[in-house]
Amino acid sequence: MTATDPLPGRLRDAVYALRTARLGLERRRLDYGRETEERAERLAGVLPASVAELREYEREYEALEWFHETYADRVAEIHDAGVATNTTHWRDGVTLYVVCRALEVETAVETGVLFGSFDAHVLAAMEANGGGTLHSVDLPGGPPGPFEYGHLIPDRCRERWELHRGDARAVLPDLLESVGPVDLFLHDSDHRLPHMRFEYETALSHLEPGGVLASHDVRLSRLFDRFTEENGLQSCVVCDTGIGRQSR
């Protein structure tokens, strides 16, 4: 045991497995349809944009034919290969798209790529913004099956993407230092509490004033809620994604 990781490895993994199973049951009673409908209202309490503006970004996303055609085809390829039954749900991707459009995100850092659902949505927003770079971190190797990291990213916006291979604990501090202040940091890697806190704490000091700390699967624990409250970030949760914005 250490001060930063109070649970032995096996016990920590067992707790994580229990939380994951509990979330699976909880999702059956959560009204994600209602939360999706309320996305603009929830985000308006955090972002410098009105409900009307945020809804316009949602409609803009729905009209991105170049994105949806490629994305749907590549999701089908993954499912046909039998290596995954789902990817990050599009509703969470839309949330990140809207955030990136509302903030005109130029520099973003994300951990946990796999097939690249979040990456694709962030990069699509950057394409609409007319600029930006997404730096993504994942372990050496790749996702299951005959696929590379970021398979879902359309070719049209792939040039804005830079993949950094390695453990986030080794890669993230130097990466954040080298890219300068970031407009968006997204955690979607190891959701065990010590690692989540490490990423949150490491990223926080590198956020641009008014920047966003985002995290996926925040309902696995109360850590995102506690962390944003402790650090004075305005926050909301939409479906499985937490959005916390640093004040200016």
The per-residue pLDDT for 1 is 37
The per-residue pLDDT for 6 is 52
Domains of the chain are: 30-245 (3.40.50.150)
**What average pLDDT does the segment 39-49 reach?**
98
Report if pTM > 0.85: yes
**What average pLDDT does the segment 46-52 reach?**
98
Q: CA 190, CA 145: separation in Å to the nearest integer?
A: 21
**What average pLDDT does the segment 180-186 reach?**
97
- Residue 10: is its pLDDT beyond 90? no
Q: CA 129, CA 103: separation in Å to the nearest integer?
A: 10
Model confidence at 169, pLDDT cuts 50, 70, 90, reads: very high
Model confidence at 18, pLDDT cuts 50, 70, 90, reads: low
Q: Are 150 and 114 in contact (CB under 8 A)?
A: no
**What average pLDDT does the segment 221-239 reach?**
97
Q: Are 98 and 124 in contact (CB under 8 A)?
A: no
Judging by DSSP bridges, how do beta strands 133-138 and 107-111 pair with one another? parallel
